[in-house]
Structure 1
């Protein structure tokens, strides 16, 4: 069997397994899971940088560059979304009124 077919089969099966696993997660666990996923994406980004830096092939270099950009965007976007979700649970401080602002009238 061709090695490319084996890798494609593994990739397609992992996509289906990932969709099934993620769709079963309750909404209360999304923020902790996103934080963990962001840490994993940091490792993926580091790996993509190391692998891309050690190649001399032009095609591998361009694919590595795309991988680096996508991993960086995914990681930063994930941290921004996680931060925004956590801000929903922060209590807002009551506004302090200044003297003479007309609220006493």
Structure 2
């Protein structure tokens, strides 16, 4: 046998091994594809079940909104009480700005023509209460801010 013929036989054997490896990989890929299809079908079934549970009497939106409100209260409490005294005046200014945005929203709620809706009267009264509380917050904030700024002024005399 010549050296060239030996090289051709080795190459042929390598090609046969490569073809066998490709067939095995193709079979594994087909099996993985079937498993992925089965998992996708299960996931779609679970999503359908969750969707039907959500619309069939799960927790109401009010519970979610109350939970968000409670979390916001805790976060706000810890943020405000961890502020250093040097930052109280800028924080008060930001609080006044937020309260002014609340007043704008509350005035819109008070002036909206929603008497035909079931919660029309309730929405209007909640808007009035929001205007009153935000007004107290704004004016009190300005008083506290002015008092704090007065502490930094030099005393005459």
**TM-score of Structure 1 vs Structure 2, range by shorter chain:** 0.7 to 0.9
RMSD between superposed Cα atoms in Å: 1.1
Contiguous gaps of at least 5 residues in structure 2: 1-58
Deviation per CA, 1:10-44: give whole Å up to 9, x if none.
11111111112112111111111101111111111
Cα distance in structure 2, aligned partners of 1:84 and 1:67 = 26
Q: Which runs of 4+ in 1 moved over 3 A?
A: none
Q: Distance in 1 between matches of 2:140 and 2:95?
A: 12
The total of aligned residue pairs comes to: 94
1:30 aligns with 2:88: yes
Give TM-score scaled by structure 2 length: 0.57
Gaps (5+ residues) in structure 1? 95-105
Deviation at 1:88, TM superposition (A): 0.9
* Aligned mate of 1:15, from 70, 73, 77: 73
Q: Is the 8 A contact 2:102 2:130 kept in 1?
A: no
Alignment correspondent of 2:123? 60
Question: 1:48 is matched with which residue?
Answer: 106
Q: Which has the larger radius of gyration?
A: 2
- Among residues 72, 84, 88, which one is paired with 2:135 in the alignment? 72
Structure 2 Cα separation of the partners of residues 72 and 5 of structure 1: 28
Q: Which residue of structure 1 aligns with residue 6 of structure 2?
A: none
| C-alpha deviation, 1:92, in angstroms | 2.3
